[in-house]
Amino acid sequence: MPKTIEETVNELADREAIRELPQRYCDCVWRGDVDGLVGLFADDGVFTIIGNDRETTNKGHAELQKTYKAGLATLTPRPYIHNHVIELTGKGRASGRCYVELRDASDNLSWLGTGYYHDEYVKVGDRWKFQSRRAQMVHMEPKMAKGTGGSQEKK
């Protein structure tokens, strides 16, 4: 059965709100807005960095706050997001992937590396949030590999 106009408009609104989450994430990183970053996650939201030799997970606003504050102070990354795909799964849930390039503000915006995020989204009230972000680095320049413990994808 074809979707009603109301269903279609609601889906478009959901997709638009979800599409903006990784964009705002990057905007917050650029501006060093840790509170803004953490506010994009659900209260029990999870951020994970995955790689060859280890997987680091932080859950909940307090842990996220601590991790992002330390991470932004160490690496001064400047991210650019690409190729965001979204799948609405119903009942206020969705998933997606998006790809990121990183440059280094403390070194004339030299290239730091690239990777992708696997995201789970959840609708909290009338807003969409990250339920989880899993960051998989594909390539990291030495400075970034050191800063993240060398967690990049196997080649």
Partner 1 sequence: MAKSVEQLAGELADREGIRELPLKYCDCVWRNDMTGIVDLFASDGEFITKGFKREHRASGREALLKLYNGLTQGELTPRPYIHNHVIDLAGGGRATGRCYVELRNLKKNMEWVGSGYYEDEYIKVGDGWKFKSRTFHTAYMSMNPG
d(CA 142, CA 47): 22
80 lines the binding site for partner 1 (CB under 8 A) = yes
Piece in contact with partner 1 (CB under 8 A), picked from 21-29, 39-47, 58-66, 113-121? 21-29
DSSP class of 1: -
Contacts of 77 (CB under 8 A, 6+ apart): 29, 71, 102, 103, 104, 105, 112, 144
Q: What's the burial of 148, exposed, middle or buried (CB within 10 Å: 0-12/13-18/19+)?
A: buried
Binding to partner 1 (CB under 8 A): which residues in 42-71?
none
Place of tokens 């990049």: 152
User: Interface with partner 1 includes 138 (CB under 8 A)?
Assistant: no
Which CB atom, from 28 or from 140, has the smaller least distance to partner 1? 28
Nearest distance from C-beta of residue 73 to partner 1, angstroms: 18
- For residue 23, the minimal CB distance to partner 1 (Å) is 5
| Size of site (CB under 8 A) for partner 1 | 23
CA distance 99 to 90: 24
3-state secondary structure of 13: helix
Q: Is 74 helix (H, G, I), strand (E, B) or coil?
A: helix
Q: How far is the CB of 54 from partner 1 (least distance, A)?
A: 28
Q: Which range of residues in 17-25, 58-66, 67-75, 139-147 is near partner 1 by CB under 8 A? A: 17-25
CA distance 67 to 58: 8
At its nearest, how many Å lie between partner 1 and the CB of residue 55? 27
Residues 118-137 within binding reach of partner 1 (CB under 8 A): 126
User: What are the residues binding partner 1 (CB under 8 A)?
Assistant: 5-6, 9-10, 12-13, 16, 20, 23-24, 26-27, 30, 78-82, 103, 105, 108-109, 126
